Copies of this chain bind each other. A is one copy, B any other.
């Protein structure tokens, strides 16, 4: 499912290249870039949600250093997403 969404995003980026190449109107290109950015954010939120439900939950259940490390790692990934 992620793969299909990423393939569509790849197609959108190729569409952007065409628009730039054909010197399409700037604002239309910007609208399309905003759409791609939103699509990428959706994919990353889905991947993160899965990661939390599986990997982080399992590590937390095991406890100890592994749990702390996985949670710290997830927190860093969230910070990167929020700032990207």
Kindly state the separation between the CA atoms of A35 and B38 in the bound complex, as whole angstroms.
Answer: 14
Cβ contacts under 8 Å, A83 to chain B: 34, 41, 83
- Closest residue to A35 on the B side, CB-wise? B84
Pairwise interchain contact B20-A81, C-beta atoms closer than 8 A: no
Q: Smallest Cβ distance from A54 to chain B, in angstroms?
A: 8
Residues of A26-40 whose CB lies within 8 A of B: 26-27, 29-31, 33-38, 40
Pairwise interchain contact B44-A40, C-beta atoms closer than 8 A: no
Q: Smallest Cβ distance from A7 to chain B, in angstroms?
A: 6
Cβ contacts under 8 Å, A17 to chain B: 3, 6-7, 10
Pairwise interchain contact A30-B68, C-beta atoms closer than 8 A: no
